[in-house]
Structure 1
Amino acid sequence: MKNIVLIAGAFYGLVSIILGAFGAHALKKMLSAEKLISFETGVKYQMYHALALLVLGFSLSFTSGLEKWAGWGMIIGTFLFSFSIYFLAFSEYWNINLRILGPITPIGGLLLIIGWLCLLFYFIKSN
């Protein structure tokens, strides 16, 4: 589990840098200001959780269920939250109706909340 968390953190960090640079330069001509702000929100949350996953990967042993749920909540939640935002931001440009992804974003957010809650309970329980 430790390796999965570290790999996910490194991958999310890498992708967020690439997408952030892409968003800062190329997307200004492609997306509306509103869609660009949404895209940047996805990039920010992805980078925040990439860093959190790296810290967790280096700090936790992942022997308890709370540690594992915290890791999985952040890994899956980041993917669902950020990547659904990316696709929704591009839906207008691609002229594709991706409204089906609308409910995916809050599910990703809920998983992120669950991940952070599990981490909180783990810290409370360990003291």
Structure 2
Amino acid sequence: MPLLSTTSTLAWKAGALLTSSGIVAGAFGAHALGPRLGEKAGTWTMASHYAIMNGIGLLAISQHPTYSKRIAVPLIIAGTTLFSGSIFALLLYRERMGAWTKIVGPTTPLGGLLMIGGYLSLLF
């Protein structure tokens, strides 16, 4: 049972962090980065929404008594971090990343797959 409560605590704290950081990133993108992002503002907003949605998902998962969340929680945290984080990094630093763009770019779909895997693991 201790692993379950540890996982629940991790899910709750990560959910709170992802939700709040998604809100902050959305506000930052809308108010401070709007002119810089231009037509890519929608991509920034999407990344913010994914962080918020997955944060809320983790908050909900933390309250559910299942052992499958031992797999789901780390996958969702890693997936959201890679997905939203890589989008934020690419939009902010693309011109300065150079060769790193080839490494950071593919982490976006990998993050998406991890998120999907995390939620699908809750089926078992």
* TM-score normalised according to structure 2 size: 0.86
Aligned to 1:125: none
Q: Aligned partners of 1:95 and 1:88: how far apart in 2?
A: 9
Q: Aligned partners of 1:89 and 1:7: how far apart in 2?
A: 27
Change (3 A) 1:67 1:96: closer
CA-CA distance at 1:95 after TM superposition: 3.5
Alignment partner of 1:57 is 2:58: no
Determine what percentage of the aligned residue pairs are the same residue.
Answer: 34
Aligned to 1:47: 52
Aligned to 2:26: 20
**Structure 2 gap ranges (5+):** 1-6
Q: Which deviations, in whole Å up to 9, do the C-alpha atoms of 1:72-125 show, x marking residues without a partner? A: 111111111110110011124x53324120111111111001011101x23xxx
| Matched AA of 1:56 | I
CA-CA distance at 1:40 after TM superposition: 1.0
CA-CA distance at 1:8 after TM superposition: 0.2
Aligned to 1:74: 76
| Matched AA of 2:54 | H
* TM-score normalised according to structure 1 size: 0.84
Q: Aligned partners of 1:11 and 1:68: how far apart in 2?
A: 19
Runs of 4+ in 1 over 2 A off after TM superposition: 94-98
CA-CA distance at 1:60 after TM superposition: 2.7
**Structure 1 gap ranges (5+):** 123-127
Instruction: Compare 66-75 and 1-10 and name the one that shifted more.
Output: 66-75
Q: Aligned partners of 1:88 and 1:32: how far apart in 2?
A: 14
What is the aligned-residue RMSD (CA, Å)?
Answer: 1.4
